[in-house]
Amino acid sequence: MGTGRSQRQLGMIGEVRAVVAELGTEVWLRGGWAVDFWLGKVTREHEDVDWFAWARDARALRERLVALGYEVLRADAQQVDLARDGEELSFALVARGDGGAVVAAGGPWAGTAWPAGMLEPTVTGRLGGVESPVVSPEAQIEIKLMTPVWMPQRPRRPKDAEDVARLEAGLRARSAGPAGDSP
């Protein structure tokens, strides 16, 4: 299932899931690994493993991962980045805003709402015997389409367009049902 790098990252995803279970916290895969988990297959090699995590849990999560040999690359109110064995984990931190919306916890977009339905209801993905909550495919599409609008300095990358196409095809296939017919 994928390259040696994919296998290492998949192992790290399993490790993060075990840490989260131990701590009683929540995280959600985002980005390319969220796409792969939702589809149930590795679609490409990934540069890193991206997550969303509650800001209130960031310190405990960071400390536990450091105890497992991860090095902190960045830790602030917006994001926690860690690395081990040449592989990186990135946790974008979220909080609850007014009315219960999921918002950016810190940084220049602090308090800005993420797409509705991004984390709730929980969407679970599975890959290689590992299970993890993932960003909803609809929210993932919105994030990948809107990032160049929200952040003009970050143009859409070919891999983002490919992920959007994969997610849209997956949504169409799931709505068609098992026989390929519309409900």
pLDDT of 182 strictly over 70: no
Q: Is 49 helix (H, G, I), strand (E, B) or coil?
A: strand
Work out the average pLDDT over 1-28: 93
Q: Is 127 helix (H, G, I), strand (E, B) or coil?
A: strand
Residues sharing a CB contact under 8 Å with residue 10, sequence separation 6 or more, in sequence order = 1, 2, 127, 128, 130
Return the pLDDT at 2: 66
pLDDT in tens, 134-158: 999 999 999 999 887 788 888 888 8
Return the pLDDT at 157: 86
Its CATH class, for the domain covering 4-136, is: alpha beta
Work out the average pLDDT over 36-59: 97
Domain coordinates of the chain in residue numbers?
4-136
Q: What is the mean pLDDT of the chain?
A: 93
Cα 41 from Cα 167, distance rounded (Å): 12
Return the pLDDT at 130: 96
Work out the average pLDDT over 52-68: 98
Q: Which residue has the higher pLDDT, 98 or 84?
A: 84
Give me the percent of the chain exceeding a pLDDT of 70: 96
pTM of the model: 0.92
